[in-house]
Structure 1
């Protein structure tokens, strides 16, 4: 498995395969993608399973020399080659963040398990105690690796196990040995136990992934307002915008008159104002826009796919949303707070790095100096000189 490629596999397209691989938990999409990636793990286990199946086939061929077992050997080798080719293609596509042949991968695994079950059925019909023992050992030996590799998708894992086990049990029931009918009684109990183990493994995996996701979210979000913090903002800018050279506007916002609230009414009142301001900002932005708190009373909004000509009206709308209505604090009364906005446009004014942040901050400084409660776009100093001349 290539480093970093494990969790980039795309979901299957076929509805039945999506249902089979659905984790069955109400999990976030990032966790669901990671669970799907687990199905592609451990290609060595695939090789071990193929070798075990071939041992049974070749042994049966040597003992009985029947055409059916010769056909099994050919099909098994062909299907094994196809599976490894699909895995290789999927891993290479995942490493490039391209669509992966997930449907084909899942189908070839189902076909392979069906083949193992059919081979076990045929072995049970030979009447050879040695082959029957080998068939039972092969089928039971597949259960552990299937559980270990596919616990992230319990329905899919049980489908794989069923394709291996049911033909074997039917073959045992039709073998003429009445004592083997006990397998028919044991199978429901066996599948119940396997399902319980798979669900237990999956619950543990989901809990671990959720804890990891929560930790990452806490590291990227401001604990007071639950907005993105500086680290989360930079990750979004570098990953989503700069890498794609998208057009967007970076707004720097700073509250007007916030310090007196802290000084006169205490930091708890200030914190309540900051949370209320954050809520109003969320309500004023478009779906897909990003709002972040850098610290103190400084905020940043990123508006993707917005032309420079639309920046002023957007900033004015945010100012009105934040400042027009007073804030009612219990035990304090009504308080008003203003906000100033400076913005810079990408790619016209710069990139998504420190340069664009610096320019948006400079525009905010101009807005503060011009009287506060207003918006300003970054203006290149060279343009000032041209206008003055």
Structure 2
């Protein structure tokens, strides 16, 4: 959307070249100070717009979102200048210039709608700044056939609105599909939690100077329940476990399901002491009450955890995950239903 509003250097240059060509032609064919002034302003606007677009491009290359107020203001000024060119050219009564100007005016409408579909009101303003003076200049000639152009105005405006609406609809559909696909790529389809990819994206945004902990959770006794009552019951149980885990977490603490009955919790800004408290809360929530496996059967499920802290235990995210998983394995080996922090003695 931002790129569409800001246009492009090639479009700016081509539009300015066409405008300068017509203004120069009018200057030598018709004469008068109006076209000289238009040529000077067109030249100044061209260099100003190119400098502005270069600055915008530099900002966007850094990953930041540039301001668009200046480029949009310059686009409005340029369209107003084209309108002035059209008005004085049509008012001159020179048939050749009138034909060239009419062709240039009509040729601007499609590109203006195409580049500004993200902002329909801006698009209509730019079109009006070009077409309005053109029609006014035509009407001021007093020629009956020129006055007939005014009768075409309603249909012309409707066509412009439809063109903008078409481009906007296509843009919104494309953006919606892109957002849906991006969200699906980072979400577990069963529980709606972040998946491994989604959690990694969150972790990459953490500052290298920030303390955080990563906790691996694995359910105890899930497989026998899944085998006995079926995968549908197992899926329902996993969703309920995910809900209970989330209810034990505070704002900013991120839960993800990375496959099967394995879950990860990211604790930004949390040290080992806080991580242990979170683990205790999750263990209590998950195993605190039985689950309905079917209409008649209640089952119990437990959970075991292992965790590691950054930067005390690991120097990067990948290593932190490995160490937290190693702590989980040690906790499982020690008797399950507990939480264990990674220690170098677990390395063997």
* TM-score normalized by the length of structure 2: 0.91
Asked if residue 264 in structure 1 is aligned to residue 222 in structure 2, the reply is no
Report runs of 4+ in structure 1 exceeding 4 Å deviation.
none
Counterpart CA distance in 1 for 2:83 and 2:211 is 56
Q: Within 1, Cα distance between the matches of 2:334 and 2:321?
A: 20
The residue aligned with 2:59 is: 93
1:241 to 206, 212, 217: 206
In structure 1, the residue corresponding to 2:343 is in which secondary structure?
coil
Deviates more, 1:207-216 or 1:153-162: 207-216
Match of 2:134 among 168, 182, 195: 168
Which of residues 312, 315, 335 in structure 2 aligns to 1:371?
A: 335
Q: Partner of 1:316 in structure 2? A: 280
Matched, 1:357 2:310: no
Query: Paired residue for 1:283?
Result: 247
In structure 2, relative to structure 1, the CA distance for the partners of 1:183 and 1:262 (3 Å cut) is same
Q: CA RMSD in A?
A: 2.2
Q: Structure 1 residues 181 and 336, CA, compared in 2 at 3 Å: closer, same or farther? A: farther
Looking at structure 2, the residues matched to 236 and 258 of structure 1 have their Cα atoms a distance apart, in angstroms, of: 28
Q: Is the 8 A contact 1:42 1:149 kept in 2?
A: no
State how far apart, in whole Å, the 2-side matches of 1:207 and 1:378 are. 47
Q: What CA deviation, in whole Å up to 9, does each residue of 1:289-327 have, x standing for no partner?
A: 332111110011112222333211122222223222332
Matched, 1:335 2:299: yes
Taking a change above 3 Å as real, the CA distance of residues 55 and 283 of structure 1, as seen in their structure-2 partners, is farther
| Corresponding pairs, count | 347
Q: Is the 8 A contact 1:293 1:299 kept in 2?
A: yes
Alignment match of 1:61 (pick from 15, 18, 27): 27
Residue in structure 2 matched with residue 224 of structure 1 by the alignment: 190
* 1:121 equivalent in structure 2: 87
Q: How does 1:32-111 map to 2 (within 5 A)?
A: 35-111=1-77
C-alpha separation between the residues in 2 aligned to 1:182 and 1:288? 65
Contact 1:86 1:101 (C-alpha < 8 Å) held by counterparts: no
Please give the alpha-carbon distance, in whole angstroms, between the structure 1 residues aligned to 2:316 and 2:199: 11
Give the 3 Å change call, closer, same or farther, for CA 344–201 of structure 1 in structure 2. Answer: same
Q: 1:157 aligns with which of 123, 126, 137?
A: 123
Structure 1 CA distance for aligned equivalents of residues 141 and 278 of structure 2: 77
Q: Choose 157-166 or 281-290, whichever is displaced more.
A: 281-290
Paired residues of 1:237 and 1:352 also in contact (CA < 8 A): no
Residue matched to 1:178: 144
- SS of 1:254's equivalent in the other structure is strand
Any gaps of 5 or more consecutive residues in structure 1? 1-34, 385-389
* CA deviation string 1:48-81 (max 9, x = no partner): 1111111121111112331121111111111111
1:333 and 1:189 mapped to 2: Cα distance?
70
Secondary structure of the 2:267 match is: strand
How far did 1:99 drift? 4.4
Residue in structure 2 matched with residue 299 of structure 1 by the alignment: 263
Q: d(CA) in 1 for partners of 2:147 and 2:291?
A: 76
List runs of 5+ in structure 2 lacking aligned partners. none
For the residues of structure 2 that align with 1:173 and 1:247, how far apart are their CA atoms? 72
Shift of residue 360, structure 1, vs aligned partner: 0.9
Report the more deviating stretch, 163-172 or 176-185.
Answer: 176-185
User: Partners of 2:331 and 2:114 in 1: how far apart?
Assistant: 60
Instruction: Tell me if the contact between 2:90 and 2:98 (Cα under 8 Å) persists in the aligned partners.
Output: yes
* Paired residues of 1:241 and 1:352 also in contact (CA < 8 A): no
Distance of 2:211 and 2:154 partners within structure 1: 59
Contact 1:253 1:340 in 2 (8 A): yes
